[in-house]
Structure 1
């Protein structure tokens, strides 16, 4: 027998053995989804079951029957979970984390630095899910963002003071964090949970590449500490006519010879099967929101750690849907794209893909403000912040909200940055429409003159390059300005040299037909 046949037999035996062990440890679970009238979390004799509620083991999906009952089988590593249905609320714990899932891991995690999961050998055979009637879900706001990413308690304090104090003023139905909740130190999860309970709205968490257990040997247990704190690593929930698919597209590849962690973006195996089983149960008139950490598509190249390698497999499951959008984090830059055949999307309409603004900006770098917090402007010139989504039925709009004094900033005139002399007039005008994209139309005018349309360009932010050059000691050595697609330019106009003061006004209309303006006064020296 040659070596390759021998190796194949060993692999087949190992695969069959692991399947046999998993099957031996499988557990059938049944229960009832019920209307919890008195909100005590217990199925009382006078409370009725709810039919057609979706229950899953992260692979199969079943519906409750006319009495609200279900039966499903779990295998190790799965979670029993409910899809929060429109019109109902599920319980949230004291830290505002939705209680939509229960991990099934009979043997618990291997020894992990941050604890992982305890054994669930006494997992109950009956699990009931209480629901309560929700108030109007037709129109609501949500706060969506990525990458708070504190390395330590000091930076988690920045998150508290810079983000949470502002976010508590938002009239939002929920928050969704698109991964990199931490920067590798998962011991900070506990403080994070305590702090993020204060806005008193549900907080849905998506896993990022810095939220995993790097000391596990393989992908199997890499999410166990995340699961202990936040629940299932992928799941779905609904509000109104919107279904949110919170996906795990971080494929951990272990450490290389130098000890560096490796990962790539992708959605495979049971998760794809779960989506294939779930989507036929989602109403056709729903907006589908795909939420991932790593973008499905990253402008500038198909590098596997910033793209979802097999996004076409996901796209095939979604292309018949009428309305699909995707939100992600990871890049610490703000990008809008409308995906089409070139990116592998062949849906009825282009897919709007938003890589959201990072709360940590450029990883909490940059000069500090009067409160001792880094200004941490992103490498595309966008202030650190979040996005305020407004959902109305199956329609949506969104707005960038910068943190602190930059909350209302939507346009920055980046060039010319300062006054200029009559002998050295600037060659062009450059503006950064911070949340802009190909659907924006942008104009300028001088001293209330005629509006002149500007041209969208792709290059680096002049503002960030100047900021980086003048405060290089406040950034890591690897920080550099990155080309962006939300700059607009025009040749600098001829000015009346007899005047010394000029007002430049910028006007843009965004993809949602909302108008934004900014004005800057210049003097000729």
Structure 2
């Protein structure tokens, strides 16, 4: 063997093992040519207009780059064949174009000779949108026709009634915060029927149960969702609020396996999108998997599950730092508020389906329901709406002994609690001060969910610890206990317990 050939084999780690090669082996070509992505350029262009007049300053994107329309409402964007949609960030002051409550703000790219033209026609709102409301539906998660009928019969009708209870022409929109169905794509039709019943336009977030589970990579997992609802990340505006929807469910290529993660492509897009927004603006970001929760602490675990929080959330926080931000999430089937610094509040929502349609509550005792947000300028106020119950239903009181670890105490679950709430109690009309907050299991959740045989529908459901339980020890001769909870906006909610009988008191 020549010295030159020996040196070559050594560089491959093959010298000294007695291998010989035919002259053509080291020059062999693959039997099947590799099929790479089509990166050919596509020029996107068009106009955003209303009543025939162009609208300036509207953000237009292919999900990679963001441009804004000129003074005549025109745009041009150099894209490539990997982009499948072109879409706009609907500007404030315009209606949300929708088909039976499903918003449509995008066009599917079908290039001809390297070009595609997409015009977007908008309609001016009849009223000022500085004041408006929105709701967050987390985890409808229907897996059967029975679930679907319950969604339409109860949840959708409840939302319809809620909206009708506000003054006529109050602006409302909804955000479906992921897990719209439970892997059963044929039920997307039922989900859309439920939204149509509600009568308000909805924007959608992709959840881990809305993905194509037979995809080989994350990119392919969103195909059905995109077919029905458009892009998985986008933005829009109403009044003084900039809304962003993100896809933080990263599918790892095997059925039902995922992590909470924001891709570089998405973060790069978000950075461009937020560059169009004035610092100090209130930004509402909706995603499915929470950026963060403290459930692992309540479960006495060292760290959160990689499928339960966003692993690279710090970059999201950094991008939101110049703004006043609210993060809307679901996924967990419990209710929690997370505060990140002085400018970010995360609202982890209890679910529309509760504990997977097994009963009236989530497994932390939060009723099945959804978040309601009332916007006035740049400020948000909010409450949790329990399905089928009055908006004043914000706590549940339990008699002495209901919590086994606190046998001498009255307990109350205040599911939308945050540190600005004050939870007090009165004994026979006498002020007794604030109740003590502790982590524990909600007694109703224990009754409905604990044990191998229940709930019969999904036997794997179990009660989970919550940190919005409050306790007080009444005297032996007490006859009436009143719990009074005051939220951060000064609203007061009360429940009354008399001789172990719970009576709802609405004031």
**Aligned ranges for residues 134-145 of structure 1 at < 5 Å?**
134=125, 135-145=127-137
Q: Check the 8 A contact 1:295/1:328 in 2, yes or no.
A: yes
- Give the secondary-structure state (helix, strand or coil) at the position aligned to 1:267: coil
CA distance in 2, matches of 1:3, 1:159: 63
Summarize deviations over 1:120-160 as a string: whole Å, max 9, x none: 77997211111121221111111212000010111100101
Q: Provide TM-score, normalisation by structure 1.
A: 0.82
Question: After TM superposition, what 4+ stretches of structure 1 lie above 6 angstroms from structure 2?
Answer: 120-124
CA distance in 1, matches of 2:322, 2:250: 27
**Aligned ranges for residues 245-324 of structure 1 at < 5 Å?**
245-255=244-254, 260-299=255-294, 300=296, 301-321=303-323, 323-324=324-325
Q: Check the 8 A contact 1:207/1:248 in 2, yes or no.
A: yes
CA distance in 1, matches of 2:432, 2:190: 51
Q: What residue number does 1:430 align with?
A: 411
Q: What residue number does 1:167 align with?
A: 159
Alpha-carbon deviation of 1:68?
0.9
Aligned CA-pair RMSD: 2.5
Which structure would you say has the larger Rg? 2
Pick the aligned partner of 1:29 from 28, 37, 44: 44
Q: Evaluate the alpha carbon distance shift between residue 447 and residue 235 of structure 1 in structure 2; reply closer, same or farther with a 3 A threshold.
A: same
Q: Evaluate the alpha carbon distance shift between residue 503 and residue 312 of structure 1 in structure 2; reply closer, same or farther with a 3 A threshold.
A: same
CA distance in 2, matches of 1:185, 1:77: 27
Q: Indicate whether 1:360 and 2:360 are aligned.
A: no
- Give the secondary-structure state (helix, strand or coil) at the position aligned to 2:175: strand
Q: Provide TM-score, normalisation by structure 2.
A: 0.84
Alpha-carbon deviation of 1:74?
3.0
Q: Check the 8 A contact 1:180/1:208 in 2, yes or no.
A: yes
Pick the aligned partner of 1:80 from 81, 86, 93: 86
Q: What residue number does 1:325 align with?
A: 326
CA distance in 1, matches of 2:486, 2:369: 21
Q: What residue number does 2:167 align with?
A: none
Q: Evaluate the alpha carbon distance shift between residue 2 and residue 295 of structure 1 in structure 2; reply closer, same or farther with a 3 A threshold.
A: farther
CA distance in 1, matches of 2:268, 2:219: 17
Between the two proteins, the alignment pairs up a number of residues equal to 454
Q: What residue number does 2:447 align with?
A: 466
Pick the aligned partner of 1:51 from 41, 48, 56: 56
- Give the secondary-structure state (helix, strand or coil) at the position aligned to 2:316: helix
Alpha-carbon deviation of 1:415?
3.8
Q: Check the 8 A contact 1:468/1:480 in 2, yes or no.
A: yes
Gaps of 5+ in 1: 5-12, 38-46, 107-119, 341-348, 366-374, 419-424
CA distance in 2, matches of 1:290, 1:319: 13
CA distance in 2, matches of 1:68, 1:103: 20
Q: Indicate whether 1:494 and 2:475 are aligned.
A: yes
Q: What residue number does 1:520 align with?
A: 497
Alpha-carbon deviation of 1:339?
1.9
Q: Evaluate the alpha carbon distance shift between residue 220 and residue 426 of structure 1 in structure 2; reply closer, same or farther with a 3 A threshold.
A: closer
Q: Indicate whether 1:380 and 2:380 are aligned.
A: no
**Aligned ranges for residues 222-237 of structure 1 at < 5 Å?**
222-237=221-236
Gaps of 5+ in 2: 1-10, 15-29, 164-170, 297-302, 502-507
Q: Check the 8 A contact 1:335/1:356 in 2, yes or no.
A: yes
CA distance in 2, matches of 1:324, 1:306: 21
